[in-house]
Amino acid sequence: AQKITQTQPGMFVQEKEAVTLDCTYDTSDQSYGLFWYKQPSSGEMIFLIYQGSYDEQNATEGRYSLNFQKARKSANLVISASQLGDSAMYFCAMREGGSGANNLFFGTGTRLTVIP
């Protein structure tokens, strides 16, 4: 089974509008971390936001917020007031804490296009 599922291959959003990128995950660990990264065409992976499984509050970083619904195993990224520079690939990732392994499992990504 896929550990991270991103069901939206592509999304369009009007400039200045908000957009939600979906992410669901699958783990039996109690301790895990969820990450969102942005990858522009240049290739670098830019860290956006992190949510720990024990964090009770949803993580926020500027215009980015993570809508964490533990029971549904979803960790959706919300980008408010979209800007043209937000056009990029967005990856959701998970790190499982129980096994001691440190690797990230990535989803297939969502390509976001911001329309002027």
Partner 1 sequence: KAGVTQTPRYLIKTRGQQVTLSCSPISGHRSVSWYQQTPGQGLQFLFEYFSETQRNKGNFPGRFSGRQFSNSRSEMNVSTLELGDSALYLCASSLIGGNTEAFFGQGTRLTVV
Please tell me the distance from the alpha carbon of residue 35 to that of residue 4, in angstroms, as a whole number. 11
Can you tell me whether residue 86 is helix, strand or coil? helix
- Rounded least distance, CB 34 to partner 1, Å: 9
Residue with Cβ nearer partner 1 (50 or 64) = 50
- Rounded least distance, CB 44 to partner 1, Å: 4
Residue with Cβ nearer partner 1 (18 or 46) = 46
- Rounded least distance, CB 59 to partner 1, Å: 11
Residues in a beta bridge with 115: 14
Residue with Cβ nearer partner 1 (13 or 37) = 37
Residue 33: name the closest of 62, 7, 8, 66 by CA: 66
Q: Which residues bind partner 1 (CB under 8 A)?
A: 31-33, 35, 37, 42-47, 50, 52-53, 91, 93, 95, 97, 100-106, 108-109
Please tell me the distance from the alpha carbon of residue 64 to that of residue 48, in angstroms, as a whole number. 7
- Rounded least distance, CB 77 to partner 1, Å: 15
- Burial of 39 from C-beta contacts in 10 A (0-12 / 13-18 / 19+): middle
